Each structure stands twice: as structure tokens, then as C-alpha cells.
Amino acid sequence: MVSSTFKKVKYYAQLVIERIEYGIDAVKELLNTLTSDERCGVMLEFEDASPDKFAQLVTDAPQWTEWMA
């Protein structure tokens, strides 16, 4: 059985993938609603699910790791 936290992480990763088109601030706003553990999980899932868009985020916001705290 898939845990509710894992489902939430997958769901939010998909939202991040969609929001990347609206800019870094939209992604940060979404991530700020999560715990630091959830944020880390979302970013790992985001990287796996959409490597190209993740690379775009890293290019556009090299300080993204600071958002994880």
C-alpha cells in the first residue's frame, strides 16, 4: 500500500512540474506549504519525473537547495 505521504509527494511534484512554466516564484510559493521533508521528497520526485524541467529549474534558480530548509 502506498502511504499518504508518498501520494502527497507525487501529487506536489506534478504541481511543481506544471508551475515551472509560471516561474520560480510560483514553485517557491507551492513548496512553502510543505514540510522540509516533503519538499525534499517533492524535488527528488520532480527530478525523476521530469529531468528536463528539473534542469531548467536548476539553471533558473541555482539557489533552489536553500528552499529545502
Task: Dump pLDDT digits (tens) for 5-24.
Answer: 889 999 999 999 999 999 99
| Rounded average pLDDT over 35-46 | 94
Cβ pair 46, 17 in contact under 8 A? yes
- Is residue 34 one of the residues assigned to a domain? yes
67 has a pLDDT exceeding 60? yes
Task: Say whether pLDDT at 1 is over 80.
Answer: no
Residue 26 located in a structural domain: yes
- Distance in angstroms (rounded) separating the CA atoms of residues 51 and 40: 16
Domain residues for the domain of 57 are 4-62
In a domain, 11, yes or no: yes
- pTM greater than the 0.85 cutoff: yes
The confidence score (pLDDT) of residue 27 equals 93
In a domain, 25, yes or no: yes
Q: Would 44 be classed as within a structural domain?
A: yes
Burial 20-46 (b: 16+ CB within 10 A, else e): beeebeebeebbeeeeeeebbbbbebb
Confidence of residue 2 (pLDDT cuts 50, 70, 90): low
Distances (CA, A) of 68 to 1, 2, 13, 37, 41: 27, 24, 14, 8, 10
The three cell numbers locating residue 31: 513548496
